[in-house]
Amino acid sequence: MGSALATALSALSPLDWCIVAAYLLLSLAVGVYFTKRASGSMSSYFVSDRNMSWWLLGTSMVATTFAADTPLAVTGWVRTEGIWKNWFWWNYVFSHVFILLVFARLWRRAEVITDNELIEIRYSGKPAAFLRGFKALYFSTLFNFIVMGWVISAMAKVLKIFFGVETTAAIVICISIAFFYTMMSGIWGVALTDFFQYFIALFGTIILAWVVIGSPEIGGFSGFIEKLGSIDKKHLALIMTPSGGTPVSDGFLSSSFFTFLVYVTVIWWSSHNADGGGYFIQRMCSAKNERHSVAGTAWFAVNHYIIRFWPWVLVALASLIIYSSADAAKGDNEAMYIVVIRDFLGPGLKGLLFVSFLAAFMSTLSTQLNWGASYLMNDIYRRFINKKAGEKHYILVSRLCTLVLTLLAGYFALHITNIGKAWIFLWAMSAGIGLVLVLRWFWWRINAWSEISALASSLVTILAIVLYTRSEGIPLELRHQILVIPVSSIIWVAVTFITRPEPIETLSGFYKRVRPWGWWKPARELNPGIESPGFSPVIINWVLGVGFILLGMTGVGKVLLGSFLTGALMITGSLASGIIVYSRLKKELAD
């Protein structure tokens, strides 16, 4: 034990440890400072009294999606299958732009603490109560444990490469760092620490890419561009074409091109976060008003897709140039990102990069804990167990829920070895429900049984696939897609028309509260004074917004990979699209 501790301490210099200590003390100070404000009420603890500014909520969103696992998974994908594999999460640009244009407004109008609370506003009766309780329990426990488990597992991997600490000990350290800070501060402390954690993590990734590319092994940016020619072209592809497919024994279904098509045409609208996702919704509900909700979500999208991604890719490609195989990481391609840090950074910079991992880890884990506790408290405990307690009692129970979630997340972390596969499996668990979540805002005919049947059929189909299929030549995400979405869609559409619509009183109350777009004829007839905006401006803004993000993202990538003219033209097109959609949105929100 003593020798292991000595080895861990010697991995970083005294300067590095000073940087780590300063960061941890700052995080602790923020948590303590916001304890009083967070303890005022459930609204304060979970949605900041609906008084959060756009720059804070948007940065908190992007920090939450920037965990210790993210650069590791990206590095693993770039090293094995190529840059194009990141379309697994790039595809969400289509839904994220729609979310900022539509759902950022609707969720803020709903004025709920959790997204599950909306269920009993949109639906009625025992089916709605059951659905609210089941989704709260399912997503706050099993679903949330997998997310937190892979985040903790990634941080444990970082600690093991840095210090040689065994996985179990590393997980205990990670949990100890996160728990007290999250329990004390509520969403106020989570969001504010997210703000500086994001910029620490972003600065660290940029520094790493700069140092590695400037090293003698690479020879600066010109040497990097030259040495990219030694890498298999598949690693440099941003978009997979039919000629880029690599069918194996199972044929076209297992080709890279077909996988790419599934990513960009199906995944983004079919999963549980199609209308925002739990912790995104929590931020949107925390906004000062609709304008702050929209602006914050837009700020997230720019950071998420254009700014933070490319330093990870540069490091991953540099690692392919320097390390032809993953021997230094014992065959783990994901861990090569950490190996580069260990091998190329000196005192001070190594501590900064370690802190960037801590920052990314803590921002994500604290969000998942606070969000999961909000489900257990608001949608289960206060809704079904104790409806009449005081606010202080609910805050105390919320903190106890945070403790339970933390301990169980540590257990799940022990059983996650591949982060990329965990991402894919988690998405597959909710495949098929996304379209229902979207349509419930725009079509009066969707009812509680539509959502129940979509979720149940997805879970049952996935379990059947896992237990009874052995199609090893087909990628994991495609095996789920091929069956889950068609089966789920057929079932929920049939159930919708077989069962009765929601009572007109419920539909009218929802319509008056959120003023949605779409097909609401029965509710609209009862509320003729409420204006129903058309979809055409939304579709135009959506096309412009997607163009802005995708052209900006790929344009920056083209420049960094040596295609300067193409990249410059794409960036110009991106800026033009961005200016137009900004002008249109500014006018709409001012009306």
* Residue 390 confidence (pLDDT): 87
What does residue 287 show for φ and ψ, rounded to 5 degrees?
A: -70, 155
* Residue 60 confidence (pLDDT): 92
pLDDT band at 461 (very low <50, low <70, confident <90, very high): confident
* Residue 426 confidence (pLDDT): 63
Distance in angstroms (rounded) separating the CA atoms of residues 358 and 23? 9
- Please count the residues of the chain: 591
* Residue 4 confidence (pLDDT): 44
As a whole number, the mean pLDDT across the chain is 83
Token digits of residue 403: 């403790």
* Residue 11 confidence (pLDDT): 65
**pLDDT digit string, tens, across residues 89-129:** 898 999 999 999 999 999 999 999 999 999 999 999 999 99
Contacts of 431 (CB under 8 A, 6+ apart): 267, 270, 271, 458, 462, 480, 481, 484, 485, 488
The rounded Cα 189 to chain-centroid distance in angstroms is 19
pLDDT of residue 170 exceeding 70: no
Q: Which DSSP category does 501 fall into? A: P
**287: β partners:** 52
pLDDT of residue 301 exceeding 50: yes
For 438-496, the DSSP string reads HHTTTBTT--HHHHHHHHHHHHHHHHHHHHH---TTS-HHHHHHHHHHHHHHHHHHHHH
Question: H/E element holding 106?
Answer: helix 104-110
* Residue 317 confidence (pLDDT): 94
Is 266 in contact with 274 (CB distance < 8 Å)? no
C-alpha triplet 43, 47, 50: angle, nearest 5°: 90
Taking each helix axis from N to C terminus, what angle separates 167-213 and 144-163, rounded to the nearest 10 degrees?
70
pLDDT band at 470 (very low <50, low <70, confident <90, very high): low
Contacts of 350 (CB under 8 A, 6+ apart): 12, 13, 16, 341, 342
pLDDT of residue 517 exceeding 80: yes
Handedness of CA 384, 386, 392, 396 (dihedral sign): negative
* Long-range Cβ contact pairs of 468-475 (< 8 A, separation 24 or more): 471/250, 473/248, 473/249, 473/250, 473/254, 474/250, 474/253, 474/254, 475/254, 475/259
Distance in angstroms (rounded) separating the CA atoms of residues 376 and 368? 12
- The region of weakest confidence among 249-253, 503-507, 570-574, 580-584 is 249-253
Token digits of residue 530: 């409420």
**pLDDT digit string, tens, across residues 1-47:** 444 444 444 567 888 888 888 887 887 777 677 776 666 677 878 88
**pLDDT digit string, tens, across residues 263-277:** 787 778 877 788 988
HSE toward the beta carbon, residue 129, CA cutoff 13 A: 7
What average pLDDT does the segment 215-225 reach?
91
Distance in angstroms (rounded) separating the CA atoms of residues 527 and 546? 34
3-state secondary structure 388-430: CCCHHHHHHHHHHHHHHHHHHHHHHHCCCCCHHHHHHHHHHHC
**443: β partners:** 519
pLDDT band at 422 (very low <50, low <70, confident <90, very high): low
Distance in angstroms (rounded) separating the CA atoms of residues 380 and 480? 30
Model's pTM, two decimal places?
0.87
- Beta strand segments in 262-360, E: none
